[in-house]
Amino acid sequence: MNKGQRTLVPVDVSTVQERVYQSLRLGLLRGEFLPGEQISIRSLAEVLGTSAMPVREALARLIAERAIEQSGPRTLRVAPYLASDHENYIRIRMQLEGYAAERAASAPKDPALIDSLKRHNDSMAEALAVGDFDAALAGNQAFHFELYRAGGYPQLLDLISTLWLRTGPIVASARKDAKLFDRLFHIGFRIHDDAIEAVERRDRAAARWAINLDIRSAHLAIRRFYKHAADQADNEGS
């Protein structure tokens, strides 16, 4: 066959880069990385089964989204916890996610949505029962994004996702304190039930209230966790 007659389809490198980016993004949303954790391009490439190039490209996008930081010439890390920044993110999240919950509650009744929300919330409780904190984090993320997606505004979901990239690892850090994590997520499970009932009743105000309570109560617990850790470090250093 003449070379000019070949009809091989070019490999779309951008597809690999997008898959890597989405995988890392989901990992951040679900808290699979911790605040301040150092990131190795080589290690990530091995885990994802790719070359370094798509990982490097994906991390560049996450740096632009302020989820990953370039802490040195060759050093990358997950954005660390900063109390003032986190407080601001929480305030913005309450506005955006509260509105998304309102939108979901004002939509026509959707039994499939209610079933999905209950399934995600139950999966979180089941994970807690066996001490599987990673699965509990995944269930929590799935619950929230199922609810927000029902609001029908993809642009709003994009904004919420960007904020979760910066706060997901912070919530995940609570698993260092097993009792705190268990208590935090059991409270979250009950609040999620309230949110589901509000959506089922099409009660917009109650849906917003439940989601805002969920966000705020988690934030207060995380803030206490970091303050306690800082106090311990100060006592050990003195």
Would you state the pLDDT for residue 68?
95
Angle of helix 83-106 relative to helix 154-172, nearest 10 degrees, comes to: 140
∠ CA 95-101-106, nearest 5°, is 125
* pLDDT of 2 higher than 60: no
The predicted model gives 84-108 an average pLDDT of 96
- Sequence-distant (≥ 6) Cβ neighbours of residue 98 within 8 angstroms: 208, 209, 211, 212
* Contact (Cβ atoms closer than 8 angstroms) between residue 217 and residue 187: yes
CA distances from 233 to 8, 184, 186, 229 (A): 60, 23, 28, 6
Within a 10 A sphere around the Cβ of 126, how many other Cβ atoms? Answer: 13
Rg (CA), the chain: 20
| Secondary structure class of 70 (helix, strand, coil) | strand
Alpha helices (H) in the chain, listed in sequence order: 13-29, 41-48, 52-64, 83-106, 111-129, 133-149, 154-172, 178-201, 204-237
- Sequence-distant (≥ 6) Cβ neighbours of residue 163 within 8 angstroms: 89, 92, 93, 96
CA neighbor of 76 nearest in space, from 42, 47, 50, 48: 42
pLDDT band at residue 16 under the 50/70/90 scheme = confident
The predicted model gives 164-174 an average pLDDT of 90
* Contact (Cβ atoms closer than 8 angstroms) between residue 54 and residue 61: no
User: pTM above 0.75?
Assistant: yes
Higher-pLDDT residue of 29, 229: 29
The kind and range of the H/E element at 38 are: strand 38-39
Tokens (6 digits) for 24: 């890392």
Would you state the pLDDT for residue 1?
46
CA neighbor of 76 nearest in space, from 47, 46, 51, 43: 43
Calculate what percentage of the chain has a pLDDT beyond 70. 93
Would you state the pLDDT for residue 71?
79
* Contact (Cβ atoms closer than 8 angstroms) between residue 157 and residue 104: no
Would you state the pLDDT for residue 147?
98
- How does the average pLDDT of the chain come out, rounded? 90
The predicted model gives 52-63 an average pLDDT of 93
